[in-house]
Chains A and B, each alone.
Chain A
Amino acid sequence: MSLYRFGSALLGAAILAAPLALPAPALAQANEQFIPSLSYRTGPFGPNGTPFADGYLDYLKMINARDGGINGVKITYEECETAYNTDRGVECYERLKAKGPTGATAIVPLSTGITYALIERTAQDKIPLLTSGYGRSDGSDGRVFPWMFTLPATYYSQMDAIVQFIKSKEGGSLKGKKISYIYHDSAFGKEPLPVIQRLSKELGFDLSEFPVPNPGVEQKAIWLRIGRQIRPNYVIMWGWGVMNPTAITEAAAVGFPRDKFIGVWWAGSEQDVTPPGDAAKGYMAANFHGTGKDYKFMRDIEANVLKPGQGTGEARHVGTVLYNRGAINAAMVVEAVRTAQERYGNKPMTGEQVRWGFENLNLNPQRLAAMGFEGFMPPLKTSCADHEGGGVVRIQQWDGKKWNWVSDWIEPNRKMLREMYEAGSAQYAKEKNIKPRDCANQS
């Protein structure tokens, strides 16, 4: 009787869920651009996902309130909770991809796991996938990954920039120095391994690797080894969520100097340095944008969204690292739409048109000034082959109250990285039988 019973259960569920499966009543030619938000406000990474989602939505609200949308096209949005689960992320993607008059504008998953699950789906559904500062580094090769965008910088770029920073601090040479790499044992943490392993050979530093099992609360043994036995000159960490404050606390416990400790930009927010308290003073992290509220677009958000009480989340998050990162992600999506409109006209853009916009994005200083991003991020320019846009990385340091810059913008070694991207994407293309696009013929 099993199949019969199973079927009735299935049928029941189908009837229950039928209203969900029906497409939302599409307003024909509605002058709206639908931008979905895959967020996580619950689950182990909820404290980090919340400010990001707030910043993302607040920026979109600000564009609507200040400019009445993108060139008159009003932005609509809907949030879907992924709880940082890959399967829920896929569900959210499928739920939101066809909403709005032209479907989802772009997808920002904020999770390396969800990114990997969506690479093929977005290519099939013709929706750009924006993985800003995470995800698959070789996705920067636009010839093989036409639908994926990694701007402004990838993990590969970031690792190279961090090592460059350490090199400059160590007097220009890393020969014979020791660097420990401690990482979240997942696709996220393993991503930059090829870069640091290669740099270790080329620059002659001694590399020790420490994978930390998810979620990263158990690091005592690792830090005893780092702090008492290896005593490296620097520690680089690829962590997310609860792993970061734990690492900082443990570093303090074994007396490893925090000002020799550099985190990935996902380990460089207020949520990471507040719990350890004074132990976090001097800790450094990479970043690709400014922090705080002292930028024109932040004042616009303040005036147009927060003042009228339209803010998405708690006011204390505004201006924090992850809030600003949410805003910069939203800004890149909006700018891609704007760029696409220059070519296709001021109407709602389809995924394919937005993809063109992402590929021809040119955030030069004038454009950045118009966006109110002066001093917030450096210029950026993408092309058919380069979906990373030549982003640069900067190192910031926590002084106990706020983040301060301790380096200038560092230009990653583009030649080496490009070579590595192409090696990675070539392998992917071979496995998937993808013929790389010829970028010479792209308009």
Chain B
Amino acid sequence: MIYRESGQFKTSYATDQAIFPILQDRIALAILLLVAFVGAPMFASDYFLTTILIPFLVFSVAALGLNILTGYCGQLSLGTGGFMACGAFAAYKIATAFPDLNIVFVFLLAGGAAALVGVVFGLPSLRIKGFYLAVATLAAQFFLIWLFTKVPWFVNYSPSGVISAPPRAVFGFFVTGIEATSHAKYIFCLAFVALLALVAKNLVRGRVGRAWMAIRDMDIAAEIIGIRPLHTKLLAFAVSSFYCGVAGALWAFIYTSSVEALAFDINRSFQILFMIIIGGLGSILGSFMGAAFIVMLPILLNAGPTALGTPLSTSTIAHLELMTFGSLIIFFLVVEPHGLARLWQIGKEKLRLWPFPH
């Protein structure tokens, strides 16, 4: 009824190729952006912004990055944490070496640095595939973390090995450091994420994305029709690492504002891999849904019983949280192995026919 596209005619190529061809989707998007950019900062509490929305946004970028590599290009990677660390430490080095450089460029350069590292560690992907590649990227994970703990230059010789974000402003508003308000941080983060998501969406539905998917579905066939595996795979590694690097920089500068290399250990890589598996491989929306599932659900499960006033001890709640979270993961994967994004798609298809399914 409400979600029907009858009467919407596409009269030009531009309308036919739009990201949101259906009017209702565009309206919903506008509302959503309004809520995210205006509503959330106005109504959400500091707690909600800093500990739920900002990490959700940061993780979404990382999941986007990994989804480009694993979901779209089919290259299984366990090095996400390492690439995030690259971005975080590069951003720190750049920001402290050039104090006058705008923080936006710092983040972009940090992403670029991570992209270069990603290309280097992507080289083995030309010869090895699948699980073997996963193990090769594991090397990146361990090597990079080792490097950042071992070489004091990366942390400006701080004895503890912890970097902390220097205060930086955008348009006169502090977005990092002690004076930054949670609203400024959130808006900055959100703008970054929205732009990166738009770029990613356009990448994957264009020539580049098609080449990635061709490589993913059958690399020999892709090679025969003229797609160069070297360029395509390394480009996927570069773009993916760029996203992960920016996510790492956002993590270190905006979210926790101080970080040690251990924050990006192998568990972080797994966490992001789980996000894209649960959210949906090869889906931009899935990256966001997976990030929401993994970041928000444990907090809800943990804070829920206390907020409702149940007389459970903290340790019981903590154990319950792990148990519920685990069973929910199994439940969703059994119901829909292709992830939450696929569930959403099915829901929309049902909605198109509703209320007359026949």
A residues bordering B, Cβ < 8 Å? 1-11, 13-14, 16-17, 19-23, 39, 41-42, 50, 53, 78-81, 83, 86-88, 90-91, 94-95, 98, 112-113, 116-117, 119-121, 123-124, 136, 185-187, 190-191, 193-194, 211, 214, 312, 424, 427, 431-433
Q: Quick check: A81 and B198 within 8 Å, CB to CB?
A: no
Q: Which residues of B contact A9 (CB under 8 A)?
A: 285, 288-289, 292
Contact of B167 among A11, A16, A427, A433 (CB under 8 A): A433
Which residues 11-49 in B have Cβ within 8 Å of A in the complex?
19-20, 25-26, 28-29, 31-33, 35-36, 40, 44-48
Q: Which residues of A contact B96 (CB under 8 A)?
A: 431
Chain B contacts for A95, CB-based, 8 A: 47, 51, 303
Given contacts A87-B55, A116-B160, contact A4 B32 (CB under 8 A): yes
Closest to B293 in A: A9
Contact B263 A113 (CB under 8 A): yes
If A41-B318, A94-B51, A191-B160 touch, whether A1 touches B288 (CB-CB below 8 Å) is no
CB neighbours of A5 from chain B (8 A): 285, 288-289, 341, 344
Q: Is the CB of B28 within 8 A of A8?
A: yes
Decide yes or no whether B108 CB sits under 8 A from chain A: no
B237-288 interface (Cβ within 8 A of A): 255-260, 262-263, 265, 283-285, 288
Residues of A contacting B50 with CB < 8 Å?
90, 94
Contacts of B48 in A (CB 8 A): 14, 17, 20-21
Q: In the complex, A87 Cα to B28 Cα: how many Å?
A: 32
CA distance in complex: A190, B260 (Å): 11
Q: Interface size (B, Cβ < 8 Å)?
A: 77
- Find out whether the CB atom of B51 lies under 8 angstroms from the CB atom of A91: yes
Contact assessment for B160 and A190 in the assembled complex, using a CB-CB cutoff below 8 Å: yes
The reply to whether A4 and B28 contact each other, CB–CB distance below 8 Å, is: yes
Chain B residues 300 to 325 lying within 8 A of chain A, measured CB to CB, are: 300, 302-304, 306-307, 313-315, 317-319, 321-322
Q: Is B120 an interface residue (CB 8 A)?
A: no
Is residue B159 contacting chain A, with contact meaning CB distance below 8 A?
yes
A83–B36 CB distance below 8 A: no
Which chain A residue lies CB-closest to B156?
Answer: A431
Closest Cβ of chain B to A354, distance in Å, is 20
Partner of B44, one of A21, A41, A136, A193: A21
User: Chain B residues near A6 (CB, 8 Å)?
Assistant: 32, 60, 197, 285, 288-289
Q: Which of B166-193 contact A (CB under 8 A)?
A: 166-167, 177-179
Residues A81 and B317 in contact, CB atoms below 8 Å apart: yes
Tell me the complex Cα distance, A53–B314, Å.
Answer: 10
- Asked if B52 is at the interface (CB within 8 A of a chain A CB), the reply is yes
Top 4 closest A-B pairs, CB basis?
A: A7-B32, A6-B288, A2-B284, A41-B315
Per the bound structure, the CA–CA distance linking A187 and B262 in Å amounts to 9
Task: Indicate if the CB atoms of B28 and A186 lie closer than 8 Å.
Answer: no
Q: How far is the CB of B22 from chain A (nearest CB, A)?
A: 8
Closest to B40 in A: A14
Task: Provide the bound-state CA to CA distance between A117 and B304, in Å.
Answer: 25
Name the B residues within 8 Å of A23 (CB-CB): 45
Residue of A17, A83, A86 near B256 (CB, 8 A) is: A86
State whether A94 touches B46 (Cβ < 8 A): yes
How many angstroms between the C-alpha atoms of A79 and B283 in the bound complex?
38
C-alpha gap A50/B156 in the complex (Å): 36
Q: Which residues of A contact B303 (CB under 8 A)?
A: 20, 95
Interfacial residues, chain B to chain A (CB-CB below 8 A):
19-20, 25-26, 28-29, 31-33, 35-36, 40, 44-48, 50-53, 55-56, 60, 96, 149, 156, 158-162, 164, 166-167, 177-179, 194, 197-198, 200-201, 255-260, 262-263, 265, 283-285, 288-289, 292, 296, 298-300, 302-304, 306-307, 313-315, 317-319, 321-322, 341, 344
Q: Are A214 and B262 closer than 8 Å at their CB atoms?
A: yes
Q: A6-B197, A119-B258, A432-B177 are in contact. Are A41 and B299 (CB under 8 A)?
A: no
Q: Cα distance A262–B167 when bound, in Å?
A: 40
In this complex, the member of A4, A41, A98 whose beta carbon has the largest number of chain B beta carbons within 10 angstroms is A4
A-B contact pairs, 12 of them (CB 8 A): A1-B25, A6-B32, A6-B288, A10-B35, A10-B36, A11-B32, A191-B159, A193-B159, A312-B313, A424-B159, A431-B164, A433-B167
Bound-state CA distance A16–B48 (Å) is 12
Q: A94-B46, A432-B177 are in contact. List 16 more A-B contacts (CB 8 A).
A: A1-B19, A2-B19, A5-B289, A6-B288, A9-B288, A9-B289, A9-B292, A10-B292, A14-B44, A20-B48, A42-B322, A87-B55, A116-B259, A120-B258, A123-B178, A193-B159
Q: Taking CB as reference atom, which chain B residue is nearest A424?
A: B159
CB distance B288 to A214 under 8 Å? no
Alpha-carbon distance between A5 and B29 when the two chains are bound, in angstroms? 8
Which of A13, A19, A53, A187 is close to B160, meaning CB atoms less than 8 Å apart?
Answer: A187
A237 nearest CB across to chain B (Å)? 18
**B260 touching A187 by the CB < 8 A rule?**
yes
With a cutoff of 8 Å between Cβ atoms, the chain A residues found around residue B296 in the complex are 13, 17
* Contacting residues, chain B, for A2 (C-beta < 8 A): 19, 197, 200-201, 283-285, 288
Is the pair A90, B32 in contact by a Cβ cutoff of 8 Å? Answer: no
User: Contacts A10-B292, A80-B314, A431-B96 known; A187 to B44 CB distance under 8 Å?
Assistant: no
Q: A95-B51, A95-B303 are in contact. Are A42 and B289 (CB under 8 A)?
A: no
B94 to chain A, nearest CB (A): 14
B276 CB to closest chain A CB (Å) equals: 14
Inter-chain CA distance A424–B292, complex, in Å, is: 39
Whether the pair B161, A120 counts as a contact (CB closer than 8 A) is no
Closest chain A CB from B308 CB (angstroms) = 8
Contact with B32, one of A3, A41, A431, A432 (Cβ below 8 angstroms): A3
